[in-house]
Amino acid sequence: MQASIHQIIYHSTATRAIGEEELGRLVSQARIHNYSHAVTGILFYAGEQFLQVLEGEPAIVAQLYEHISYDSRHTNLTTMRYAPVAQRLFPNWSMEFSHVQSTALARLTSYFEPEQQAALLPDTIDTQEMLTDLLLKFVAEATAAPPSWLHKDL
Ligand SMILES: Cc1cc2nc3c(=O)[nH]c(=O)nc-3n(C[C@H](O)[C@H](O)[C@H](O)COP(=O)(O)O)c2cc1C
């Protein structure tokens, strides 16, 4: 039987602008740690906002989430989803990283707000399934986007 997996999705605000080099170091370090603890996920950064998906064995992700929450580089952590899942969404990513548009990130975050869901969605909809689809679509668009430097001289 497959071990149970918990998924945590949260957003937070950077306490200061974090440059490319520091982000690169943060992600490389995270990948090494996550790989050795079978944690997978993705981290988005936009206009000093983070959104991260963490997936892994319940006790491991709980401990990691707590550890990350003490990181002084961000604050106002808001848990958008903390739930058992049948399977990982990102089994091959120790921690994918992507820059995204702030507006897109804000839109994705708003879908997870219970008030928004109550206002916008009929009761008959499987909200969790819909949110997963939205997240996957968002990830597909974000990670397929060409790097920003490609546009510089066009
Ligand atoms: C937004 C954000 C996401 C992070 N994600 C991870 C992660 O997925 N895995 C990880 O090991 N560290 C992650 N970190 C870094 C940890 O908070 C911490 O700096 C790192 O684990 C090193 O901890 P240590 O200095 O106590 O060894 C993240 C930090 C931030 C600000």
Determine the distance separating the centroid of ligand 1 and the alpha carbon of 112, expressed in angstroms.
24
Structure confidence at residue 150 as a pLDDT band (50, 70, 90): very low
Question: Are 39 and 93 within 8 A, CB to CB?
Answer: no
Structure confidence at residue 124 as a pLDDT band (50, 70, 90): confident
Question: Are 18 and 45 within 8 A, CB to CB?
Answer: yes
The CATH number for 127's domain is: 3.30.70.100
Which residues span the domain enclosing 99? 5-150
Q: What is the pLDDT of residue 145?
A: 63
Q: Whose CA is nearest to atom 19 of ligand 1?
A: 71
Q: Is 8 in the pocket of ligand 1 (CB under 6 A)?
A: no
Looking at the structure of the chain, the number of domains it has is 1
Question: Are 42 and 34 within 8 A, CB to CB?
Answer: no
Q: What is the pLDDT of residue 152?
A: 44
End-to-end CA distance of the chain: 52
Residues paired with 152 in a beta bridge? none
pLDDT in tens, 2-37: 579 999 999 999 999 999 999 999 999 999 999 999
Q: How far apart are CA 51 and CA 8, in angstroms?
A: 10
Determine the distance separating the centroid of ligand 1 and the alpha carbon of 124, expressed in angstroms.
38
Q: Is 42 in the pocket of ligand 1 (CB under 6 A)?
A: no
